[in-house]
Amino acid sequence: MATNHNLNFICYKCQASLSTANILLNKNKNEARGRCAKCNIWTTFPLPEIKKKLIYLDQSFFSDIYSETVKEDLNQRLKEKLLLLRQKQKIFLVVSDIHSYETSNIPEQHSKQKTEQWKFQNSMADGCIAGNFDNVVIAQTRRMLLEKNSFETFPHTDIGLKNPHQFMVGMNIISTNTWRDGLNQSSKTSSEQQNEAISDNLDRQVEKLPDNCKLSDCLHHIQELRKGGLQQGIKDFIKDKNFTLQSEEIISEINAGRTPSFQYPQISRSSFYPVIKSVVEGLDEDAALMKWSDLLKNDNLGLCPSLRIRIAMEAELLWIKKQGHRQNPKKFSENFGVSRHHDIQHIASFFPYVDAITTDNEMFNFCQREAVKKELNKYPTKIYAKKYYNDFEAWLSDLIKNS
Ligand SMILES: [Zn+2]
């Protein structure tokens, strides 16, 4: 692999150069080991600490550069520059389950594009898949409950990446992750069904808002909805935990030959229950939940950064819907439905962690809306829409020049 670091991989005993095929990366220790074919002994090499730029390319970007019909020079140049920067170990591509889902939905007649795209994503990300939105919310909330000044930095471990800045060397076996393709294909609910559920829910929210409402009312409405869900999840978790404790008492009562007095509690688990459970795993559960619940009561402090971004976006969608804009039923998915929600999830999950992110023009404009912009302006991340791909190319060119 060509890099600007001139590492000499030579056998410590006979000084012979080792072939790349005999060098193995030790990801846990930031070092590599190489075997000399002549002496049959291993030499250990420390690897340099490097900092790569993290990039998130959305599905529309891949559709552009891998389209079989559109062969624009700019698209080709972008692809080549990304590959070169990856070879120079200057960038790391954040690939998510949303990519995997969307790639697996590329129709069979474009199977060549599908395979190429998957290979590109996989090699650019060293075979790593970042966490999904819930994973990021869980990681951020745990840090919020445990650390002081928890959001001064955004560590890549939050998005499920162990070490994207790893110096890559030697022969690295990259798992193909093709199983995810199959998994997503077999387990997906149809987009029509999902869009229908989103539409019903949105209509219900619109009805709850007064006719003379403003954007701030929509924002408040969604914030209260999310906070209410989380508080309910916290209550459910505590109830469930008490029930488990009670069951243990009942068993010991029975074992002691007594008849226990017993009431089966009504536990309805909110959709936030799994998130709550993961947030407090391994922590002092009661103390952590009490702190979180207090933060939620106190001016939205209990909402982590990714949740705040998502809430701002959902509030803007509700505001658009309430005003009666974008009524075209054929464009429901792009405007309000599954397609839009994938964009929302990828921006809310990864925006604070990456150096640059791409979007389609629609989503870019959506990110300029008041409530969303207020959240996104907190981060130095560069955002490139299709109409600004020239600027994206200039940014990539600078990275190449500076290497
Ligand atoms: Zn040797």
Mark the residues whose beta carbon lies below 5 A from ion ligand 1: 11, 13-14, 16, 36, 38-39
As a whole number of angstroms, the distance between CA 234 and CA 292 comes to 9
- 18 CA to middle of ligand 1, Å? 8
Q: Is residue 44 part of a domain?
A: yes
Is the pLDDT assigned to residue 2 strictly greater than 60? no
Closest CA to 309 of 202, 209, 383: 383
As given in the structure block, the two tokens for residue 227 are 């906070």
- Domain annotation covers residue 198: no
Question: Rounded to the nearest whole angstrom, what is the distance from the C-alpha of residue 35 to the centroid of ligand 1?
Answer: 8
| Intra-chain end-to-end CA distance of the chain, in Å | 15
Asked whether residue 329 is assigned to any structural domain, the reply reads no
| Tokens at 25, concatenated | 């990366």
Average pLDDT score, the chain: 85
Structural domain count of the chain: 1
Would you say 333 and 191 are in contact if contact means Cβ atoms under 8 Å apart?
A: yes
Q: Which of 103, 91, 153, 163 is nearest to 130 (CA)?
A: 163
Domain range holding 24?
1-48
Residue type, 12: Y
Whether 100 is in a domain gets the answer no
Residue 37 inside a domain? The answer is yes
CA of 26 to the centre of ligand 1 (A): 20
Rounded to whole angstroms, how far apart are CA atoms 127 and 177? 7
For 271-326, write each residue's pLDDT tens digit. Answer: 788 899 999 999 999 999 999 999 999 877 889 999 999 999 999 999 999 998 88
123 lies in some domain: no
| Domain-embedded: residue 164 | no
Distance 202 CA to ligand 1 centre (A): 68
| pLDDT tens digits, 172-227 | 555 555 445 444 544 557 788 888 888 899 999 999 999 889 999 999 999 999 99
Q: Is 378 a residue whose pLDDT tops 70?
A: yes
- 31 domain residue, yes or no: yes
CA of 34 from ligand 1 middle (Å) equals: 10
In whole angstroms, what is the distance from residue 77 CA to residue 128 CA? Answer: 25
